[in-house]
């Protein structure tokens, strides 16, 4: 049996965006076994992905940890991979290609770039277009790459939601990791106040991650958990799919919402552009400003009002 290796370590938003890539690789290599090398947080999620046959774990130990590298090399070697698709395109995976994995055919940004093109220049292109270019130049027919569909990840959360309320709801994601605090818009409670005043029959919900449980207490919204524990990625995907509208910072859940076909908006500051991260769809849009703290709740409501009313009515 000929085996195919895909490499994607993270992050959550990036895992969401490769849904179309994985499907295109699967449909091209329909008779082969496909495995994905990823990190521990995404093992359970990718284990249910219909486009891969197995999940391998990379702990990403430091490169000076020779014992770990030899163990990883041994694990990968036993699968006799004939081809690899490096979707991480990092210095680590370039190291794997050069020194660790003996795989005859290797697809990456570097191996598919046109002569005279620098990877640093190419990295400024929208992420989904970069994937399409890589696959197009690796003999993969790209039918789904530009339109990821993350629906395969959704769990049914009716039982969870029904323990809190029975109404329709808006889902907001007001958090970000500490190291990405510059992505966080500071006026969610002000926006919630406006929405509650103008739309009395809709619930407003947050679904905090493990590091956000305490912060959620400061948001004037219903906190959804599963038996007082944060939802896992599949439950979160199911909750997003069940919601009527999403308002979020530029975080993994925003990308989930976009590629689950949801109505909503993500708020962007100076850190990047919506085009580069390939988040906008027909239904999911962005509001972009230079400085998020200069964007008032009233301004946000004015921009989302029409789409919000259409979604909830």
Per DSSP, helices labelled H in 78-207 are 91-95, 109-112, 119-122, 127-136, 158-162, 188-198
Last residue of a domain, one of 88, 120, 149: 149
Query: By residue range, what is the domain housing residue 30?
Result: 3-149
Q: At what angle do helices 19-28 and 127-136 cross, to 10 degrees?
A: 10
Question: Residue 46 pLDDT > 80, yes or no?
Answer: yes
In this structure, are 185 and 122 located in the same domain? no
In this structure, are 140 and 200 located in the same domain? no
In this structure, are 91 and 53 located in the same domain? yes
Please indicate, yes or no, whether the overall pTM of this predicted structure exceeds 0.85: yes
CATH number at residue 232: 3.40.50.2000
Give me the chain's average pLDDT, please.
95
- Distance, in Å, from the CA atom of 257 to the CA atom of 170, rounded to the nearest integer, reads 12
Distances (CA, A) of 278 to 87, 246, 270: 15, 17, 16
In this structure, are 243 and 188 located in the same domain? yes
Instruction: State the average pLDDT over residues 144-171.
Output: 95
Return all residues near 116 (Cβ < 8 A) that are at least 6 apart: none
Task: Report pLDDT digits (tens) over 120-142.
Answer: 777 778 999 999 999 999 999 99
In this structure, are 124 and 12 located in the same domain? yes
Tell me the pLDDT band of 97, cut-offs 50, 70 and 90.
Answer: very high
Question: Residue 187 pLDDT > 70, yes or no?
Answer: yes
Q: What is the pLDDT of residue 313?
A: 86
Asked if residues 53 and 33 have their Cβ atoms less than 8 Å apart, the reply is: yes
3-class SS at 83? strand
Question: Residue 181 pLDDT > 90, yes or no?
Answer: no
- How many domains are there within the chain? 2
Tell me the pLDDT band of 1, cut-offs 50, 70 and 90.
Answer: low
Write out the E strands in 157-297: 169-173, 203-206, 222-223, 245-249, 264-268, 284-288
In this structure, are 267 and 243 located in the same domain? yes
CA angle 140, 144, 145 (to 5 degrees): 70
- Distance, in Å, from the CA atom of 132 to the CA atom of 167, rounded to the nearest integer, reads 40
In this structure, are 115 and 97 located in the same domain? yes
In this structure, are 122 and 163 located in the same domain? no
In this structure, are 169 and 216 located in the same domain? yes
Task: Report pLDDT digits (tens) over 86-95.
Answer: 999 999 999 9
Question: Residue 117 pLDDT > 80, yes or no?
Answer: no
Q: What is the pLDDT of residue 2?
A: 80
Last residue of a domain, one of 99, 132, 149: 149
Q: Is 60 left (phi over 0), alpha (psi -120 to 50) or beta?
A: left
Last residue of a domain, one of 97, 130, 149: 149
In this structure, are 95 and 36 located in the same domain? yes
In this structure, are 133 and 261 located in the same domain? no
Asked if residues 277 and 220 have their Cβ atoms less than 8 Å apart, the reply is: no
Task: Report pLDDT digits (tens) over 232-288.
Answer: 999 999 999 999 999 999 999 999 999 999 999 999 998 889 999 999 999 999 999
In this structure, are 109 and 46 located in the same domain? yes
């Amino acid at each position: 049996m000929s085996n195919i290796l895909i490499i994607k370590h993270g992050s959550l938003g990036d895992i969401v965006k490769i849904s179309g890539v994985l499907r295109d690789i699967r449909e091209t290599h329909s008779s082969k076994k496909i495995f994905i090398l990823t990190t521990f947080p995404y093992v359970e999620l990718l284990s249910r992905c219909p486009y891969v046959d197995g999940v391998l774990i990379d702990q990403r130990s430091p490169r000076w940890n020779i014992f770990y590298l030899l163990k990883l090399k041994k694990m990968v070697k036993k699968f006799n991979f004939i081809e690899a698709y490096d979707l991480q395109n990092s210095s680590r995976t370039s190291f794997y290609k050069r020194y660790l994995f003996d795989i005859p055919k290797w697809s990456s940004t570097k191996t598919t770039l046109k002569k005279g093109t620098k990877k640093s220049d190419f990295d400024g292109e929208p992420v989904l277009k970069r994937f399409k270019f890589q696959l197009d130049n690796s003999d993969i027919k790209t039918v789904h790459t530009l339109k990821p569909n993350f629906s395969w990840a959704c769990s049914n959360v009716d039982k969870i939601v029904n323990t809190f309320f029975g109404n329709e709801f808006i889902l907001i994601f007001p958090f970000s990791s500490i190291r990405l605090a510059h992505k966080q818009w500071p006026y969610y409670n002000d926006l919630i106040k406006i929405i509650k005043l103008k739309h009395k029959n809709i619930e407003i919900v947050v679904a905090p991650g493990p590091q956000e449980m305490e912060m959620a207490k400061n948001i004037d919204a219903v906190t959804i958990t599963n038996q007082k524990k944060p939802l896992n990625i599949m439950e979160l995907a199911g909750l997003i799919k069940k919601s009527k509208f999403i308002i979020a910072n530029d975080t993994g859940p925003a990308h989930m919402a976009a590629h689950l076909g949801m109505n909503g908006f993500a708020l962007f500051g100076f850190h990047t552009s919506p085009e580069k991260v390939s988040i906008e769809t027909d239904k999911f849009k962005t509001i972009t400003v230079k400085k998020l703290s200069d964007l008032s709740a009233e301004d946000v409501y004015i921009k989302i009002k029409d789409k919000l009313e259409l979604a909830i009515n």
